[in-house]
Amino acid sequence: MATEGKNLSDFNPDDLPDLTGKKFGIVVSEWNHNITGNLLKGALQGFYDAGVLDSDITIKYVPGAYELALGAQKLIQSGNIDGVVCLGSVIRGETAHFDFVCQAAAQGIMEVNLKTGKPVAFGVLTDDSEQQAIDRSGGRHGNKGTEAAVVIMKMQ
Protein backbone atom coordinates (compact mmCIF):
# COMPACT_ATOMS: atom_id res chain seq x y z
CA MET A 1 0.00 0.00 0.00
CA ALA A 2 1.38 3.39 -0.99
CA THR A 3 0.59 5.04 2.35
CA GLU A 4 1.41 2.13 4.65
CA GLY A 5 3.13 3.48 7.75
CA LYS A 6 3.24 7.03 6.38
CA ASN A 7 1.57 10.24 7.42
CA LEU A 8 1.70 12.40 4.31
CA SER A 9 0.12 15.55 5.78
CA ASP A 10 3.24 17.13 7.27
CA PHE A 11 4.47 20.18 5.39
CA ASN A 12 6.68 23.18 5.96
CA PRO A 13 4.84 26.50 5.41
CA ASP A 14 8.20 28.07 4.51
CA ASP A 15 8.22 25.91 1.35
CA LEU A 16 5.07 27.62 0.05
CA PRO A 17 4.90 30.70 -2.20
CA ASP A 18 3.74 34.07 -0.89
CA LEU A 19 -0.01 33.71 -0.35
CA THR A 20 -0.71 37.33 0.53
CA GLY A 21 -4.07 38.35 -0.86
CA LYS A 22 -4.88 34.91 -2.24
CA LYS A 23 -8.46 33.66 -1.98
CA PHE A 24 -9.30 29.97 -1.75
CA GLY A 25 -12.42 27.88 -2.06
CA ILE A 26 -13.23 24.54 -0.51
CA VAL A 27 -16.02 22.41 -1.96
CA VAL A 28 -17.15 19.66 0.41
CA SER A 29 -19.35 16.66 -0.33
CA GLU A 30 -22.14 16.12 2.18
CA TRP A 31 -22.11 12.37 1.44
CA ASN A 32 -20.07 10.48 4.09
CA HIS A 33 -20.03 13.68 6.14
CA ASN A 34 -18.30 11.95 9.06
CA ILE A 35 -15.30 11.60 6.73
CA THR A 36 -15.60 14.80 4.68
CA GLY A 37 -16.04 16.88 7.83
CA ASN A 38 -12.63 15.66 8.98
CA LEU A 39 -11.16 16.37 5.54
CA LEU A 40 -12.51 19.91 5.82
CA LYS A 41 -10.90 20.34 9.24
CA GLY A 42 -7.60 19.19 7.76
CA ALA A 43 -7.82 21.54 4.77
CA LEU A 44 -8.67 24.50 6.98
CA GLN A 45 -5.82 23.69 9.36
CA GLY A 46 -3.42 23.49 6.42
CA PHE A 47 -4.49 26.93 5.21
CA TYR A 48 -4.32 28.41 8.71
CA ASP A 49 -0.86 26.92 9.33
CA ALA A 50 0.30 28.66 6.16
CA GLY A 51 -1.09 32.01 7.35
CA VAL A 52 -4.22 32.12 5.17
CA LEU A 53 -6.97 34.09 6.88
CA ASP A 54 -10.41 32.66 7.51
CA SER A 55 -11.85 35.62 5.58
CA ASP A 56 -9.90 34.46 2.49
CA ILE A 57 -11.58 31.04 2.44
CA THR A 58 -15.03 30.29 1.00
CA ILE A 59 -16.68 26.95 1.78
CA LYS A 60 -19.39 25.45 -0.43
CA TYR A 61 -21.24 22.21 0.24
CA VAL A 62 -22.52 19.91 -2.51
CA PRO A 63 -24.56 16.70 -2.19
CA GLY A 64 -21.89 14.22 -3.26
CA ALA A 65 -18.53 13.65 -4.95
CA TYR A 66 -20.17 13.68 -8.38
CA GLU A 67 -21.12 17.36 -7.85
CA LEU A 68 -17.69 18.55 -6.68
CA ALA A 69 -16.51 19.69 -10.12
CA LEU A 70 -19.54 21.88 -10.75
CA GLY A 71 -19.26 23.32 -7.25
CA ALA A 72 -15.61 24.20 -7.91
CA GLN A 73 -16.44 25.72 -11.28
CA LYS A 74 -19.19 27.88 -9.75
CA LEU A 75 -16.83 29.11 -7.04
CA ILE A 76 -14.21 30.07 -9.61
CA GLN A 77 -16.79 31.74 -11.84
CA SER A 78 -18.04 33.79 -8.89
CA GLY A 79 -14.74 35.66 -9.13
CA ASN A 80 -11.82 36.34 -6.83
CA ILE A 81 -10.92 32.69 -6.17
CA ASP A 82 -7.32 31.63 -6.82
CA GLY A 83 -7.76 27.90 -6.27
CA VAL A 84 -10.25 25.34 -4.99
CA VAL A 85 -9.92 22.23 -2.87
CA CYS A 86 -12.50 19.51 -3.62
CA LEU A 87 -13.18 17.15 -0.71
CA GLY A 88 -15.18 13.95 -0.92
CA SER A 89 -15.29 10.36 0.18
CA VAL A 90 -16.50 7.47 -1.97
CA ILE A 91 -16.46 4.08 -0.26
CA ARG A 92 -16.72 0.95 -2.39
CA GLY A 93 -20.02 -0.84 -2.19
CA GLU A 94 -21.47 -3.91 -3.83
CA THR A 95 -22.15 -2.36 -7.25
CA ALA A 96 -20.26 -0.55 -9.99
CA HIS A 97 -21.65 2.79 -8.76
CA PHE A 98 -18.33 3.37 -6.96
CA ASP A 99 -16.39 3.18 -10.23
CA PHE A 100 -18.70 5.57 -12.07
CA VAL A 101 -18.71 8.18 -9.30
CA CYS A 102 -14.92 8.04 -8.79
CA GLN A 103 -14.20 8.32 -12.52
CA ALA A 104 -16.69 11.18 -13.00
CA ALA A 105 -15.35 13.09 -9.99
CA ALA A 106 -11.73 12.75 -11.11
CA GLN A 107 -12.49 13.65 -14.73
CA GLY A 108 -14.71 16.57 -13.78
CA ILE A 109 -12.19 18.08 -11.38
CA MET A 110 -9.42 17.76 -13.96
CA GLU A 111 -11.61 19.45 -16.57
CA VAL A 112 -12.30 22.40 -14.27
CA ASN A 113 -8.53 22.84 -13.83
CA LEU A 114 -7.99 22.95 -17.59
CA LYS A 115 -11.12 24.96 -18.45
CA THR A 116 -10.57 27.71 -15.88
CA GLY A 117 -6.77 27.77 -15.64
CA LYS A 118 -7.16 27.75 -11.85
CA PRO A 119 -5.82 24.95 -9.69
CA VAL A 120 -8.45 22.57 -8.35
CA ALA A 121 -7.21 19.83 -6.02
CA PHE A 122 -8.55 16.29 -5.98
CA GLY A 123 -9.10 15.68 -2.27
CA VAL A 124 -11.46 12.78 -2.84
CA LEU A 125 -10.91 9.57 -0.91
CA THR A 126 -11.72 6.47 -2.96
CA ASP A 127 -11.47 3.72 -0.39
CA ASP A 128 -12.52 0.10 -0.11
CA SER A 129 -13.73 0.50 3.48
CA GLU A 130 -14.82 3.11 6.00
CA GLN A 131 -11.72 2.32 8.08
CA GLN A 132 -9.47 3.23 5.16
CA ALA A 133 -11.33 6.55 4.84
CA ILE A 134 -10.96 7.21 8.57
CA ASP A 135 -7.22 6.47 8.34
CA ARG A 136 -6.86 9.10 5.58
CA SER A 137 -9.11 11.79 7.07
CA GLY A 138 -7.13 12.54 10.20
CA GLY A 139 -6.14 9.01 11.19
CA ARG A 140 -2.89 7.12 10.94
CA HIS A 141 -2.23 8.17 7.35
CA GLY A 142 -2.72 11.87 8.00
CA ASN A 143 -5.37 14.01 6.42
CA LYS A 144 -5.85 14.18 2.65
CA GLY A 145 -7.71 17.46 3.20
CA THR A 146 -4.49 19.03 4.45
CA GLU A 147 -2.59 17.59 1.49
CA ALA A 148 -5.13 18.99 -0.99
CA ALA A 149 -4.83 22.45 0.61
CA VAL A 150 -1.04 22.26 0.28
CA VAL A 151 -1.40 21.35 -3.40
CA ILE A 152 -3.50 24.46 -4.05
CA MET A 153 -1.10 26.68 -2.15
CA LYS A 154 1.90 25.29 -4.03
CA MET A 155 0.16 25.90 -7.35
CA GLN A 156 -0.08 29.67 -6.75
3-state secondary structure 114-154: HHHCCCEEEEEEEECCHHHHHHHEEECCEEHHHHHHHHHHH
Question: Does 20 reside within a domain?
Answer: no
Check which CATH number belongs to the domain holding 138 and give it. Answer: 3.40.50.960
Question: Does 10 reside within a domain?
Answer: no
Q: What is the pLDDT of residue 96?
A: 85
CB neighbours (10 Å) of residue 154?
Answer: 15
- 100 touches 66 (CB < 8 A): no
Question: Does 140 reside within a domain?
Answer: yes
Q: What is the pLDDT of residue 11?
A: 84
Q: What is the pLDDT of residue 1?
A: 46
Q: What is the pLDDT of residue 45?
A: 96
Instruction: Please tell me the distance from the alpha carbon of residue 63 to that of residue 31, in angstroms, as a whole number.
Output: 6
Question: Does 126 reside within a domain?
Answer: yes
Q: Are strands 137-139 and 142-143 parallel, antiparallel or unpaired?
A: antiparallel
- 127 touches 91 (CB < 8 A): yes
Structural domain count of the chain? 1
Question: Does 13 reside within a domain?
Answer: no
User: Tell me: the pLDDT tens digits for 5-14?
Assistant: 555 577 888 8
Question: Does 8 reside within a domain?
Answer: no
What domain range is 39 assigned to? Answer: 27-154
Inter-helix orientation angle 33-49/144-154, to 10°: 40
Question: Does 113 reside within a domain?
Answer: yes
CB neighbours (10 Å) of residue 119?
Answer: 19
Is 97 annotated as catalytic?
yes
In the set 33, 97, 115, 140, the catalytic residue is: 97
Question: Does 22 reside within a domain?
Answer: no
- 112 touches 100 (CB < 8 A): no
Residue ranges of the chain with per-residue pLDDT less than 50: 1
